[in-house]
């Protein structure tokens, strides 16, 4: 309570929510606030045509409320495309909590979040993301059944990263096949940027397949682990873009494929786990096309994690979920075919296929 004066224009960017929702075609956005626990955030439901919306809960220290809003709108829309192109019956949703991800929040905080999720009656299903974990989901599940990514002991499927990494590996192989005529990775030079949860398992698959792997990370502990376990070569984070390599695999941050990095890239393929790798879908998708660098759309090849969540929702066996993940190989080739036939970027081709499935269901 207590606001009795209407904020001035500059201070009320959040009042443009409906305008943004219209532009990005969101169905519903819920803001939540709980004074006793300090919980505040936003849940965005983008599209539920194919099924309930599902997407992780991200906790981040957003500088401005608008940044949180923009993030949740963009990420939930990405989830719609990801689930659609993966052939699973889920829509796109996402939750963001505005807080410092390094602060450990107590049970009351996460239970309150669970109650907010539950108030949407299954229209949004949550999961882990940046700053949340399977352990957090164990608390959230005390207040709602609309939660995935639970620990194995609690009936969930645990850490999704190995599944994500397997899908990325298959998408990467399909890209190599498209560009070089064979998906044999032996001797292929692959640079993996970020060897955290997903990067670690990707490096494992790549070294097992005989690739020559280079890694870059800002976390020494994570670098030490991959060097010790797989004997890979470390390069400085700033040197990775200019490396003589066949494949660049971004597995750290989004937007690393941009106007500054594209001119430096000497690779033939970009295929990695990071979400939203293209800083600008249109501009950078086209720049890659012109430079004959094949881009494997991230929202397709990193879908192993969401497929694993779907496995929890639908009570699928691990085998059934793996079959869905294995489709990533064929889907990736399908996108490349469409891109070359229609002379559009691979990102555009992937979005068209994702939208097409939703429109046909309508």
Contact status: 197 vs ligand NAD (CB under 6 A): yes
- Can you read off the two tokens belonging to residue 1? 């309570």
Q: 216 vs 328, which CB is nearer to ligand NAD? A: 216
**DSSP H helical ranges for the chain:** 17-24, 65-85, 107-118, 134-140, 161-180, 197-208, 220-230, 281-290, 298-301, 304-314, 318-342, 346-361
Contact status: 161 vs ligand NAD (CB under 6 A): yes
- Can you read off the two tokens belonging to residue 7? 């904020």
Contact status: 300 vs ligand NAD (CB under 6 A): no
Contact status: 86 vs ligand NAD (CB under 6 A): no
**Among 199, 246, 316, 332, interactor with ligand NAD by CB under 6 A:** 199
For the chain, helix (H) and strand (E) counts, in that order, are 12, 12
Q: 270 vs 289, which CB is nearer to ligand NAD? A: 270
Contact status: 171 vs ligand NAD (CB under 6 A): no
Contact status: 164 vs ligand NAD (CB under 6 A): yes
Q: CB nearest ligand NAD: which residue?
A: 196
Is residue 94 annotated as part of the catalytic site, yes or no? yes
Q: 160 vs 171, which CB is nearer to ligand NAD? A: 160
Residues 6+ apart with CB under 8 A from 290: none
Q: 42 vs 216, which CB is nearer to ligand NAD? A: 216
Catalytic position from the list 82, 94, 173, 189: 94
Q: Give the Cα separation of 306 and 303 in Å (integer).
A: 5
Q: How far is the CB of 94 from ligand NAD (least distance, A)?
A: 12
| 8 A C-beta contact, residue 120 and residue 49 | no
The conformation of residue 91, written as its DSSP 8-state character, comes to E
**Among 103, 152, 218, 282, interactor with ligand NAD by CB under 6 A:** 218
Contact status: 76 vs ligand NAD (CB under 6 A): no
| Contact track, ligand NAD, 255-284, x by CB under 6 A | ------------------xxx---------
**SS3 per residue for 294-350:** EECCHHHHCCHHHHHHHHHHHCCCHHHHHHHHHHHHHHHHHHHHHHHHHCCCHHHHH
Contact status: 27 vs ligand NAD (CB under 6 A): no
**Among 41, 194, 285, 297, interactor with ligand NAD by CB under 6 A:** 194
Q: Phi and psi (nearest 5°) for 128?
A: -85, 160
Q: Which residue has the tokens 């500059």?
A: 10
Q: Which stretch binds ligand NAD (CB under 6 A): 22-30, 102-110, 249-257, 262-270?
A: 249-257
Q: How far is the CB of 180 from ligand NAD (least distance, A)?
A: 25
Tell me the number of residues near ligand NAD by CB under 6 A. 25
Residues 6+ apart with CB under 8 A from 129: 55, 56, 57, 58, 94
Q: Which of 55, 74, 203, 233 is nearest to 128 (CA)?
A: 55
Residues at the site binding ligand NAD, with contacts judged by CB under 6 A: 160-161, 164, 193-199, 216-219, 222, 237, 251-254, 273-275, 302, 305
Q: Which residues belong to the active site?
A: 94
């Amino acid at each position: 309570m207590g606001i009795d004066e209407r904020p001035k224009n500059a201070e009320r960017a959040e009042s443009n929510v409906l305008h943004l929702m219209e532009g990005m075609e969101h169905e519903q956005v819920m803001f939540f606030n709980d004074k006793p626990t300090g919980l505040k955030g936003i849940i965005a439901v983008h599209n539920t045509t194919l099924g309930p919306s599902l997407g992780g809960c991200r906790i981040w220290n957003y500088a401005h409320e608008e940044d949180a809003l923009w993030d949740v709108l963009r990420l939930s829309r990405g989830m719609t495309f990801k689930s659609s192109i993966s052939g699973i019956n889920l829509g796109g949703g996402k939750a963001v909590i505005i807080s410092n991800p390094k602060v450990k929040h107590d049970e009351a905080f996460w239970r309150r979040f669970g109650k907010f999720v539950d108030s949407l009656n299954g229209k949004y299903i949550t999961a882990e993301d940046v700053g949340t974990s399977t352990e957090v989901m164990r608390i959230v599940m005390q207040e709602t059944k609309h939660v995935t990514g639970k620990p194995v002991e609690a009936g969930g499927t645990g850490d999704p990263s190995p599944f994500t990494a397997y899908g990325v590996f298959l998408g990467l192989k399909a890209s190599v096949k498209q560009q070089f005529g064979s998906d044999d990775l032996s001797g292929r030079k692959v640079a993996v940027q970020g060897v955290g949860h997903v990067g670690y398992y990707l490096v494992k698959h790549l070294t097992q397949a005989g690739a020559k792997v280079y890694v870059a990370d800002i976390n020494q502990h994570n670098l030490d682990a991959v060097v010790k376990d797989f004997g890979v070569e470390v390069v400085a984070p700033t040197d990775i873009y200019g490396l003589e390599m066949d494949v660049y695999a971004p597995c750290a941050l989004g937007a690393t494929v941009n106007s500054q990095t594209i001119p430096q890239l000497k690779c033939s393929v970009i295929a990695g786990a990071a979400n939203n790798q293209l800083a600008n879908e249109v501009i950078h998708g086209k720049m890659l096309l012109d430079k004959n660098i094949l881009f494997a759309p991230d929202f397709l090849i990193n879908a192993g994690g969401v497929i694993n969540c779907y496995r929890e929702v639908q009570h699928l066996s691990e085998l059934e979920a793996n079959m869905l993940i294995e489709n990533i190989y064929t889907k990736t080739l399908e996108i490349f075919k469409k891109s070359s036939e229609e002379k559009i970027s691979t990102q555009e081709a992937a979005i068209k296929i994702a939208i097409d499935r939703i429109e046909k269901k309508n």
